[in-house]
Amino acid sequence: MFSPSPLMIHLLQSLTGAMTAPTFTKALTLWAGTILTPGRRTITAALTVLGLQTGQTLGKYHRVLNRAAWSPMVASRLLWGMRVTTLVPADQPLVVVMDETRERRRGQRILYQGGV
């Protein structure tokens, strides 16, 4: 059975607000398997690399993304907060730079179109 490292648990502990405890336990396993998986990163591949490919457990892990009680929006906000607190010094402002060229701008109603 896979056992996540204490460092991994510590880093991802702040995500517990986005999901239930059983879902968090399964998510830790999936994150570790995804990091270790070469090639396509599917749930089955993540479990296979960890030695958890038995038929009895596959459904439980597939439900983490399909039906489990967790909020992707809350998780994304928590991850963004972790990035900001980790990468931006406390005495420095956070500068967010946006590039409108990633947005598709076509049609008669668009007044300005990027230099394409």
pTM given for the model? 0.61
Close Cβ partners of 2 (under 8 Å, ≥ 6 residues apart): 29, 32, 33, 50, 51, 52
- The SS3 call for residue 19 is strand
Q: For residue 112, give both structure tokens.
A: 């300005």
What whole-number distance in Å separates Cα of residue 15 and Cα of residue 100? 31
Q: Is the pLDDT of residue 1 over 50?
A: yes
What pLDDT, in 10s, does the model give residues 32-82?
A: 888 888 888 888 898 888 888 776 777 888 888 777 777 888 888 888 888
CA dihedral 49, 5, 24, 60 (to 10 degrees): 30
Determine the Cα angle at 102 with ends 98 and 107, to 5°.
Answer: 120
pLDDT tens track for 90-113: 899 888 887 666 566 666 666 655
Q: Where are the domains of the chain?
A: 6-87
